[in-house]
């Protein structure tokens, strides 16, 4: 097993190279059907299967706050939201881009992973908990909210249906 050491603690090396989505995709396949976006996938080949990949580094005009005009059946986003300074505006914008009955599927770093905290990883602007995301979803009127707490990738999932 390849490990990296951070402040005397060993972590799996894959947590430092990206593609965290691979741990959430098998679960997301049960919820994310139809036409949707994978926002922040980093590489097209890492995007949720059959989604429209969106990343600020792609050679197109789209990014988290500039999506195509159409509403979609789902938005899948893995390890992206913590990189966005004004995450509330982004989530409100994404909400408007999802059809009624559509799904928002978020996969985010868990607080327990110490080197992902913003004061240790300056690419991260935010720390989330499932409660924060769930509260926002309830505020927006999402239903059927499901939470998957910390997994072996030290990340968590929150899924909600737009009503």
Q: What is the per-residue pLDDT across 92-150, written as a single tens digit (0 to 9) for each?
A: 999 999 999 999 999 999 999 998 999 999 999 999 999 999 999 999 999 999 999 99
Domains recognised in the chain with CATH numbers: 18-162 (3.40.50.150)
Do the beta carbons of residue 49 and residue 25 sit within 8 Å? yes
Which pTM value belongs to this model? 0.95
Quote the pLDDT of residue 17.
Answer: 85
**Between vectors from CA 108 to CA 23 and to CA 59, what angle results, nearest 5°?**
85
Element (H, E) at 81: none
Residues ≥6 apart with Cβ < 8 Å to 155: 20, 23, 24, 79, 107, 108, 109, 110, 113
């Amino acid at each position: 097993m390849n490990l990296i050491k951070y402040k005397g603690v060993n972590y799996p090396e894959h947590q430092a190279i990206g593609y965290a989505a691979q741990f959430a995709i098998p679960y997301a396949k049960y919820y994310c059907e139809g036409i949707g976006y994978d926002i922040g996938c980093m590489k097209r080949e890492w995007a949720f299967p059959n989604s429209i990949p969106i990343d600020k580094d792609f050679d197109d005009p789209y990014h988290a706050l500039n999506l195509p005009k159409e509403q979609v059946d789902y938005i899948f986003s893995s390890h992206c939201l913590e990189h966005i300074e004004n995450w509330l505006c982004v989530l409100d914008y994404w909400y408007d881009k999802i059809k009624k009955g559509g799904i928002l599927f978020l996969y985010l770093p868990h607080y327990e992973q110490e080197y992902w905290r913003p004061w240790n990883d300056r690419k991260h602007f935010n720390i989330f908990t499932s409660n924060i995301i769930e509260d926002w979803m309830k505020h927006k009127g999402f239903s059927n909210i499901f939470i998957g707490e910390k997994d072996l990738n030290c990340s968590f999932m929150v899924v909600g249906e737009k009503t």
